[in-house]
Amino acid sequence: MRNIFLLIRRFSVLLLFLGLQILAISMLVNYSKSHRARYFELAYEATGKINKQYTSVTRYFSLGVNNRNLAAENERLNNLLSVNFAQIDTGVVAEKLPLIIDTSNLTRKYLWRMARVINNSVSAQNNYITLERGKLQGIKPDMAVVSPVGIVGIVTDVSDNMSIVMSLLHRKSNTSVAHAKTGITGILEWNGYNPERLQLKGIPKSTQLQKGDTIVTSNLSLNFPAGMVVGTIVSFEPDDEGNNYKINIRPGANFFSLEYVYIIENLFLKEQRELEQRVKK
C-alpha cells in the first residue's frame, strides 16, 4: 500500500494533468456541437478499426472449422457430379429377333469421401500421407485420393480409423494420365528430386505440346475418374534415346499445404480386376 502512495505522489503532476485534460475535453464535447460531432466521428472510426481487428482474429481461429465445413459441402457436391455415374447398357433380346429392348440406366461408379490429413511428408524419395479415415469409415486400399485442385495419390494401407496414401511424390508411383488437348496417354512418375515437378513418360514426339498444357487422368486409370486435373507442363524436350518426349509437370495439388482431401472409391474396380485376371489366366 505504501508503494502505491509513493507511486501516486511521484506521478501526481502527470496524473493531475491527465485528469484536467480529460475534464477539458469532456466539457468541450458537451458544450460545442462541432467538437461533439468530430469526437463521435473519431470514436466511431476507432471502434470500427478495433472491431475489424477483432473480427480478423476470430476469423483466423475459426479457419479450421470453416475449412472442414467447406470440405464436407464439396464432398456432397462431388458425389452429385455426372462423372461419378456410368451408363449401363442392359440390352435384352426377346424370342422374336426384331423386338430388341434397350434400357439404359445411370449407375453410380464413383463414391467420394472427405478426409483430414494428419501427417504428410514431401522431403523423402518415397513420401506417404496419413488420413483420418479407415476401415470403419469404408476406406480400402487402391482408392484414389485427390485435393480440390489436383490428384494426390493412392491408398495403400488402412487401419480401423486411419489410412496411408502413397503420394505422387513416391518413386514407385505411376498413374495413367493424358494430354488434355490431344487425348494422348502416358504414365506419370516422380524421379525423387524436386517435389514441385513430376515426370510424364510415353508421350510421342509427334504430339503437339506447349508449356502450360493441362494434363488430366486418363480413361485407362482404374482408380481415378477420367479428366481430373493432374498438373500443367512446365518444360519438355525430345528424348535422345527414344521416340518420346521428356516432360516435366507442375502438380496441381500443393503437397506442402494439404489439409483436407477426398477419397474416391471405384465401385466397379473389383469386378473389372477379377474379369481381367480371368483373361490373363
Is the confidence at residue 44, as pLDDT, over 60?
A: no
The alpha carbon of residue 152 and the mean position of all alpha carbons in its chain are separated, in whole angstroms, by 9
Q: Are 116 and 131 in contact (CB under 8 A)?
A: yes
Please tell me the predicted confidence (pLDDT) of residue 74: 72
Mean pLDDT of all residues in the chain?
Answer: 81
Is the confidence at residue 99, as pLDDT, over 70?
A: no
How buried is residue 223: exposed, middle or buried, by Cβ count under 10 Å (0-12/13-18/19+)?
buried
6 or 207, higher pLDDT: 207
For residue range 153-203, list pLDDT tens digits in order. 999 999 999 999 999 999 999 999 999 999 999 999 999 999 999 999 999
Residues 6+ apart with CB under 8 A from 70: none
**Spatial separation of the C-alpha atoms in residues 224 and 217, rounded to whole Å:** 7
**How many other C-beta atoms are found inside a 10 Å radius of the C-beta of residue 105?**
10
What are the backbone dihedrals phi and psi of residue 168, each rounded to the nearest 5 degrees, phi first?
-60, -25
For residue range 53-95, list pLDDT tens digits in order. 655 655 555 566 667 667 667 777 777 666 666 654 444 443 4
Is the confidence at residue 137, as pLDDT, over 60?
A: yes
State what percent of residues in the chain have pLDDT above 70. Answer: 73
Could you tell me the residue ranges of all domains in the chain?
2-61, 110-268
Please compute the mean of the pLDDT values over residues 197-216 and round it to a whole number. Answer: 94
For residue range 240-249, list pLDDT tens digits in order. 888 999 999 9
Is the confidence at residue 46, as pLDDT, over 60?
A: yes
pTM of the predicted model as reported, rounded to 2 decimal places: 0.69
Q: Are 216 and 229 in contact (CB under 8 A)?
A: yes
State what percent of residues in the chain have pLDDT above 90. Answer: 48
The DSSP annotation for 250-280 comes to EESS-TTS--EEEEEEETTHHHHHHHHHHHH
256 or 17, higher pLDDT: 256
Residues 6+ apart with CB under 8 A from 141: 155, 156, 157, 158
Please compute the mean of the pLDDT values over residues 210-219 and round it to a whole number. Answer: 95
190 or 31, higher pLDDT: 190
The DSSP annotation for 171-223 comes to TT--EEEEETTT--EEEEE--SS-TT-EEEE--BTTS---TT-EEEE-TT-SS
- The vertex-102 CA angle with 101 and 108, nearest 5°, equals 140
Give the confidence band of 22 by pLDDT, cuts at 50, 70, 90. confident
Please tell me the predicted confidence (pLDDT) of residue 148: 87
Q: List the one residue out of 252, 248, 222 whose CA is nearest residue 236.
A: 248
Please tell me the predicted confidence (pLDDT) of residue 235: 95
Count Cα neighbours of 62 within 13 Å in the Cβ-side half-sphere. Answer: 9
Which residues is 27 bridged to in the sheet? none
The alpha carbon of residue 275 and the mean position of all alpha carbons in its chain are separated, in whole angstroms, by 33
CATH of 110-268, one of 3.20.20.70, 3.60.21.10, 2.40.10.340, 3.40.50.1100: 2.40.10.340
Q: How many residues does the chain have?
A: 281
The DSSP annotation for 214-252 comes to EEEE-TT-SSSPTT-EEEEEEEEEE-TTSSBEEEEEEES
**Spatial separation of the C-alpha atoms in residues 258 and 71, rounded to whole Å:** 12
